[in-house]
Structure 1
Amino acid sequence: MQKKFFLFISLLEIVMLTGCNSTTPIAYAFKKNDNSDDFVQWVPRVYKDQTYESKLTVTPSKDDEIVQTNPKFPKMKDLWWKEFNSTELNDLVETAISKNFDLQIAITRIDQAEKNANIAKSYLMPTIGIFAGETTSGPALGAGTATSLSNYNNLNVYEFGFRATYEVDLWNKLHYQRNSALELLKASKENRDVVALTLISDVVTTYFEVLSLRERILIANNNLKIANSVQQAIQTRLKSGEATELELQQQEVTIVLVENAIATLELQKQTAEDHLAILLGTSVDNINIKKDTLQGIIPPKIKLGIPSDLLCRRPDIRLIEYQLKSSNENVKAARANLLPTFSLTDEYGQASQNLTQIMSPYSLLYSFSINAFATVFDGGKLVNQLDLEKAKNRELIAQYSNTIINALRDVQDALAAIKITSIERAELEKALNKTKNLLKLSTLVYQSGAMDYVSLQVVQRDVFNSQDAEAKSRFDQLRSTVNLFKALGGGLTSKNDTCTLKNKNVVGSSQ
């Protein structure tokens, strides 16, 4: 009896200590100042009520980089986009990291995975509760004991106390479930990094696309001015009989084609700007890109011999690795679920027919039970659950292999694209230098009557096409470089890289 009483006192101390913790259910239910409007921080400012303030604060550091106070925001190991030496691009990337909604969704999924992991951990701990109640029954001595209405009495019993239940993890099933949840938490962080890497790559590529389209529009407008001056020259020669009406109509067709090209480029530019605005988590009216051309933006040089070990930097590979580890734990848990389960239940408290005597020593109640349960027949549910987890595991193994192959392909494609676009740009620059003043000179020669219109029209077409192709080739080269950065998980080298370069396997090379 004394041993049981001391156990009751110990249990009471545990309950009192846990009751002081703000994370216990009762304390959490009555928790004050619980901000139920967390959703407001994701709403654009123009839709917010002035009484709400965003929890996310952004403050510029000494080197003008945006520092997030939210620790779940991605911390990029290699600021590879700064290799392009564009302050405007750096600002856009930092804005996207803090404002993009896809990234914020990925961050909230980390919170969900963290809570799931905490739930899985809690199953390893006992559940302690408080019970209290009143029971009224009649007849007092039990059913059928009253021989007459005069001796029919009600029995009132008042009781309160503490109850603890605990499942003995004899086969480590609960540990496997906890480990699975922890691996999924790690996977959710890698998923956030996948979203961040894709986001940054899209911002950089779209920014270059906007600049390229702006430059191509400038080129087309300059050629339109020249085409209009050629039209005026044809009209002058037409008056003197040196040109024909057919030449004038052909030039008008040329002007229409250039105007149509400008309209197409304008539409593409607007689409790219809209896409950039979405990436930045705002409307297109709120972004202001000052630069109009790709001039001055030089792609970083790619060194020969890129080790395949750098693929371990890719967050999508690490993501599938953690998912595979979680699946392995699920298989173990499903196998352990086939075995019997054991649970302990312990109750301590007071019970009495009279409230004034409920605290008396003889009103002490206690019970301790051990329960075992083994499934004999369930229609194959547990066995099929095990087979299901094994099938999921095989699927993840295939996905992992496929991810590795795709990663190698991405690097090879990016390296090949860099090499080809470099050659194309060099050749187009040579052609552009030869045709730089050709159109102006040809126009002057035509005005003097020393060149026929067909030759001039060919020159117009070739000059415009070469200028447009050269501008587009610079964008293609920059895009290929961005794709290589993305294929390698962000950047080529990093002092803080966790990857260990154990060998010098070369997956590709580029000049």
Structure 2
Amino acid sequence: MLKLRKSVFLLLAAGVLSACSLAPKYERPAAPVAATFPAEPLPASASSAVTVETGWREFFQDPRLQVLVESALTNNRDLRIAALRIEEARAQYNITSADLLPNLNASAGGSRGRTAAATSPLGVSGVTTVYQVGLNLAAFELDFFGRVRSLNEAALSQYLATEEAQRAAQISLVAEVAKAYLAERAFAEQQELAQRTLNSRESGYKLAQQRFEVGASSALDLRQNEVLVQTARASLATLVRQRAQAQNALTLLTGRPFAELPPARSLSEQNIVAELPAGLPSDLLVRRPDIRASEQQLMASNANIGAARAAFFPRISLTAGIGSTSTELGNLFEAGTRTWSFVPQLILPIFDAGRNRANLSLAEVRNNIAVANYEKTIQTAFREVSDALVARGAIDEQIDAQRRVLEAQADRLKLAELRYQNGVASSLDLLDAQRELFSAEQSLVQARLLRLTNAVDLYRSLGGGLNEKTRP
């Protein structure tokens, strides 16, 4: 009996400790992107860790926006689903890792039955009662070829990939809330401009109507003023709708409506950090959780190849038990009632109609798909950073040019008003100047919004947005 126990223990230890792995050695694929970004605004010596170290509260300093972001991180349903996915992956990993160790079960039972006289050796019928209790080892696989360990490594990588995906969802959520808030602020400023313009044009229309009534102007001038008024009304109605829709988008992202919020800041007052050093493309492999998640998926598919290869080799499993059996419950633990069983089993695949080979091919194809997905994720990240860097300088120039356009249009309107009052210019020149000034004001707001959203995109694409160092 003692020798049996030692033999079982040694076999279990050999199965747990000496398992080899048939999975290919994992090597990170080379990043299929250029060595540098197309536009690098700061010298290479600049600290590339500033993005990761900058918390979202430090980056977005508008108190109203901070409340919205905090609410989104707490209440957003998509983020809640991502967190539950982590729990799901963790449970699946725990289930798979349990196969690495033996599962012992205690059992107790009894049976009572009648034996027919025709089948009894003595030709006499009778009632038999049997009680039994024991400890059983149920079909524990000795993982000599690493099949179970490869499956466990694949489950672990899937779990880690889910964690990284949740971090990526957080970063994207912070960026989406910021962009939705900035869009709402832009619509609010444009709505205010449209309202002021409408009020001004309605006053001008009343004057034009009075001039028409006394014969000082033509019906054409009156209709032209009316066109400007109705155009301003249409623009205002459009902006009211767009602002309401932007507020609805914010409510969806933050997970709940708000009754009171801190005072809002205008676009020009948004003190968003804009000078973010981009570093090198290889830094994205460390910073961006979506790339890390894709790599974990690749590692999981690599481990699945090892499990598929192990299926070609013999599978050894152990079933064993030890206990006591007696016809009397009171004598269950007396001398002579002990029982044991030891059932090793070896299964060698001989003919499976190509199932194992097909499973191996499937694992290898899925690994190739994972490599392609990983490379595509890197390329997408590289493009996002490159686009944000290239756009930054161009947007600054666009804002400066648009500001000068606005100043010129404002001067043009003043001159047109003077010329019209002195009878030098027609009302058409004045109305055209008013129309162009309104368009320039709206375009400047859009350009400022574009600059702010570009900063948000660059911050997100460089992997920032999670750390939170400063709290109110």
TM-score by length of 2: 0.83
Change (3 A) 1:163 1:362: same
Change (3 A) 1:5 1:406: closer
Q: Does 2:302 align with 1:338? A: no
Change (3 A) 1:443 1:229: farther
**Counterparts of 1:192-341 in structure 2 under 5 Å?**
192-283=166-257, 286=259, 288=261, 290-291=263-264, 293-302=266-275, 306-312=279-285, 313-341=287-315
Distance 1:481 1:120 in 2: 43
3-state DSSP of counterpart to 2:268: coil
Kept in 2, the 8 Å contact 1:233–1:447? The answer is no
Letter paired with 1:300: V
Distance 1:339 1:114 in 2: 29
Q: Does 2:128 align with 1:152? A: no
Offset from partner CA, 1:436-476 (integer Å, 9 cap, x none):
36546644653564531110111011100000100110001
Letter paired with 2:163: K
Kept in 1, the 8 Å contact 2:182–2:267? The answer is yes
Offset, 1:491: 6.5
Offset, 1:7: 10
Offset, 1:183: 1.1
Distance 1:463 1:374 in 2: 84
Change (3 A) 1:4 1:140: farther
Distance 2:158 2:272 in 1: 37
Distance 1:232 1:448 in 2: 20
Letter paired with 1:132: A
Q: Does 2:64 align with 1:88? A: yes
3-state DSSP of counterpart to 1:170: coil
- Aligned partner of 2:387 in structure 1 is 413
Letter paired with 2:288: R
Structure 1 unmatched ranges of 5 or more:
11-75, 496-511
Aligned residue pairs total 425
Letter paired with 2:164: E
3-state DSSP of counterpart to 2:157: helix
TM-score by length of 1: 0.77
Change (3 A) 1:447 1:309: same
Change (3 A) 1:6 1:475: closer
Distance 2:119 2:278 in 1: 93
Letter paired with 2:126: N
Q: Does 2:146 align with 1:175? A: no
Letter paired with 1:153: G
Offset, 1:379: 2.7
- Aligned partner of 1:161 in structure 2 is 134
Kept in 1, the 8 Å contact 2:60–2:66? The answer is no
Kept in 2, the 8 Å contact 1:82–1:90? The answer is no
Change (3 A) 1:355 1:267: same
Which gives a bigger RCO, structure 1 or 2 (Cα 8 Å, sep 6+)?
2
Let me know the Cα RMSD of the aligned residues. Answer: 2.8
Distance 1:110 1:492 in 2: 17
Distance 1:436 1:83 in 2: 34
**Counterparts of 1:419-434 in structure 2 under 5 Å?**
419-434=393-408
Out of 320, 340, 365, the position equivalent to 1:366 is 340
Letter paired with 2:72: A
Letter paired with 2:167: D
Change (3 A) 1:421 1:275: same
Kept in 2, the 8 Å contact 1:485–1:492? The answer is no
Change (3 A) 1:326 1:307: same
Offset from partner CA, 1:367-398 (integer Å, 9 cap, x none):
12211112222332222112111111000111
3-state DSSP of counterpart to 2:256: coil
Offset from partner CA, 1:68-91 (integer Å, 9 cap, x none):
xxxxxxxx7531463343222222
Q: Does 2:102 align with 1:123? A: no
Structure 2 unmatched ranges of 5 or more:
10-51
Distance 1:391 1:455 in 2: 69
Offset, 1:133: 2.2
Kept in 2, the 8 Å contact 1:215–1:292? The answer is no
Letter paired with 2:98: S
Letter paired with 1:121: S
